[in-house]
Structure 1
Amino acid sequence: MRKVSWIISSLMNNPAKHYNILHLIDTTGHGGAETVFKTIVSGLDQPRYKSYVLLSDHGWLFDQLSAEPGVRVLVFNGKGRFNFSLLQKIVKVIRKYQINLVHTHLFGSSLYGSLATCVTRTPVVSTFHGIPDWRPDDLFNKIKLSIIFARAKAVVFVSEHLKNYFLTMAYIRPRRTACIYNGTTTPKVCKIDKHQAKKELGFSESDILVSAVGNIKPIKGYDVLLSAAESLVSRFPDVKFVVAGAPADTTYYQNLLNLRVKLNLVDSFFFIGYYEKPDIVYKSSDLFVLPSLSEGFSLAIIEAMAHKLPVVATKSGGPEEILENGVTGKLVSPGSYTELAQGITEVLENQSFQKKISENGFGVFLNKFSEIGMIQQYQYLYKFSINT
């Protein structure tokens, strides 16, 4: 488990206390950041940590966390470019529930949390999950980032790549930064085998499934995967490509459907939408692929590793810190459908290579990317931020 050494040394003699934590996030749908958010909230040590969650709307996160014992979920339906009422709501919640620390996720919530706690003087921990979709030379957003960095007791990045990127955007003392990799659980024993899982998704036992998991938007590079698939289906007639993810960008999704028709891939490339049982997707798969153009980390990769799948991924930032090329996975250049096709071919044609990277990847998952390890590091960070 990766340690945040500067935190641990400050906590050795600190007595156990009870803390009220307010969790904020920009979005409520199903995605990597939202999944990590849910994992942290539901996995904190109770009753030492009492969690309060303020969401902008109902949705997947609301449904998931409302069912969690000991978690108080609040919804504030606010719209607008800058929502002063949301600031007031955060201040009110902090005071009403005697919040000891605010944990924010993503850029917007981190800004609102930072501004609100200027009033309450409550410590803030801000977690960044990916590179924001604004230009590096955007002065206004750089000012916002400087406010977040100035107010936060600690800023967490989910990869060193992401940390290095943000440190070029605004100043923050290195002592107040930490890299905490996302974690996931070891899959529960599945009651169905691979053949049954394929059947549940509508495929036959002989189909070789190459899967990708993630919301559908341009940064995910599914157009690159489609182009790679065109060059592979004639060579591997039993291969079927499956993308499990909700259309976050409907225009891009429609363009993908049009491209699928143009490339004659309607019978071999499938978009199945958000699937409520992702374990079935992984269980049915023979190979996992991540074609992203940019990734802050990639929760989907470690989920695939946890399911002992061979992984082909792009060198898009976070994946290079998860996979060692040729040892725990296959890494290719982002945006290159030829390299992606070559990487997939190398894995599909070499059974011993498949076995090697699958087994090695599972071992790395157990040692480095466990859910328990991630939550422990956040709990250390909470106590450090509150007590110093």
Structure 2
Amino acid sequence: MTGNAPPTILHLIDTTGPGGAETVFICLVRELQKTEFRNVVVLRGEGYVADQIRALGITPYIIDSKGSFNLGYLKALRKLVKSEGVSLIHAHLLGSNVYGALLAMLCRKPMISTFHGAVDVATGERFLRAKFLIVGWGSSAIICVSKGLEKQLTERSALPSNKLKLIYNGVDPDVFKRGSETGLREELGIPLEATIVVSIGNVRPAKGYSYLVDAAIELAESDPNTHFVVVGHQRESVFKPLLQKIAASKTKPAIHWLGFREDVASILCQADLFLLPSISEGFSISTVEAMMAGIPVIATRSGGPEEIVDDGKTGILVPVKDSGAINSAIQCLKAPALRENLVIDAREHAMKKFSLSSMLQGYLDLYRQLTQR
């Protein structure tokens, strides 16, 4: 950076498809476009994230990084840092955090690593200790999106505690204002008197959809007017066993699998209840979105949700892997008075603590501090 040129941030992320971390990544870059910072984005392939970044008016660099350690990828990044006049590197998720930290040491640039969930600290990850050592050495700051995740990182890694910082993921409340959205019931053939329980999240092991299926099967006989709607990309290795479980049940549950959808906000705003059945969550963007949309929330005690939901005041927390508890919470939230009180307190709480503006300010303070050194 020379003269009066704006400070340039190089943004890196592991994945290319839709998800919670990817949503945060896209929103952060979008909001930074309105500030003094210039943004350069590097992605590992085409897909949803690339499309969304282009929609912001930024042409991402697509650089392949396949392999356990891709030296060519690192060389390409180093060349880019020089040609684009990068002032600071910001990476998301473990793989990009490792490359970003190496790049920061090679180029002598400040660097921020953001960890989004338990998948980043999975014990089955190869060379995990070495990867954490690299991230610890090369990062100027290491962001955790929840206190629970910060605790996990502290327990499972040698990351320097003085570099760990908490910045909650944020949601734009204007996107999830409940309006006059309609059409979901007609699309899915759900009766007007039925209760719609929406879950948002890709179908993968940590999301706990097996327990949602169990809950729906249990309700099929006693409460057939409760319909479950699941929005998210379907990983075949996880989705196929769920369909097999449904096929083997005596009474078929009312579950509508929608796959990936662009109209998540509209679908969520047409729900009667929101359910997060996860067995592990670093945070939960979708839970915050439901609270901002004015939808009563049921979430498992899976890590992040305990920091988002005040049990009995802004939603209902249930144990993980407990379909009976899920159904009890659904029946409990059918009481209009309880629902009304919950959604008012939940929206106020989410707006105050988990808004996009709060997240942005947290990162902006850090960017300015690091680029002005």
The TM-score by the shorter chain falls in which range? over 0.9
CA deviations over 1:132-160 (Å, ceiling 9, x no partner) = 26654878211211210121100000000
- Would the aligned equivalents of 1:28 and 1:56 in 2 still touch at CA under 8 Å? yes
- Would the aligned equivalents of 1:29 and 1:60 in 2 still touch at CA under 8 Å? yes
Q: Match of 1:229?
A: 216
Number of equivalent positions: 370
In structure 2, do the counterparts of structure 1 residues 168 and 338 end up closer, same or farther at CA, with 3 Å as the change threshold? Answer: same
Structure 1 unaligned spans of 5+: 1-15
For 1:74, give the aligned amino acid.
Answer: Y
CA deviations over 1:149-204 (Å, ceiling 9, x no partner) = 12110000000000010011223443322111111111348796355343345433
Does 2:238 correspond to 1:212? no
CA distance in 2, matches of 1:230, 1:325: 26
Match of 1:329 among 304, 315, 318: 315
CA distance in 1, matches of 2:33, 2:161: 28
Q: Match of 1:384?
A: 369
TM-aligned CA deviation for residue 46 of structure 1 = 3.4
Match of 1:316 among 284, 287, 302: 302
Q: Higher relative contact order by CA 8 Å / sep ≥ 6: 1 or 2?
A: 1
- SS for the counterpart of 1:23 is strand
- Would the aligned equivalents of 1:154 and 1:385 in 2 still touch at CA under 8 Å? no
For 1:165, give the aligned amino acid.
Answer: Q
CA distance in 1, matches of 2:121, 2:149: 15
- SS for the counterpart of 2:281 is coil
CA distance in 2, matches of 1:19, 1:111: 23
In structure 2, do the counterparts of structure 1 residues 163 and 84 end up closer, same or farther at CA, with 3 Å as the change threshold? Answer: same
In structure 2, do the counterparts of structure 1 residues 379 and 135 end up closer, same or farther at CA, with 3 Å as the change threshold? Answer: closer
TM-aligned CA deviation for residue 266 of structure 1 = 4.7
Q: Identity, % of aligned pairs?
A: 32
Q: CA RMSD in A?
A: 2.0
- Would the aligned equivalents of 1:31 and 1:215 in 2 still touch at CA under 8 Å? yes
Does 2:116 correspond to 1:129? yes
Match of 2:285 among 287, 291, 299: 299
Does 2:245 correspond to 1:259? yes
For 2:114, give the aligned amino acid.
Answer: T
Does 2:340 correspond to 1:352? no
- SS for the counterpart of 2:16 is coil
Identify the range of structure 1 (167-176 vs 192-201) with the bigger mean alpha-carbon deviation.
Answer: 192-201
TM-aligned CA deviation for residue 234 of structure 1 = 2.5
CA distance in 1, matches of 2:181, 2:54: 32
Residue pairs, 1:44-123, within 5 angstroms:
44-46=32-34, 48-69=36-57, 71-123=58-110
- Would the aligned equivalents of 1:216 and 1:222 in 2 still touch at CA under 8 Å? yes
- SS for the counterpart of 1:187 is helix
For 1:174, give the aligned amino acid.
Answer: S
Structure 2 unaligned spans of 5+: none
- Would the aligned equivalents of 1:305 and 1:361 in 2 still touch at CA under 8 Å? yes
CA distance in 1, matches of 2:282, 2:18: 17
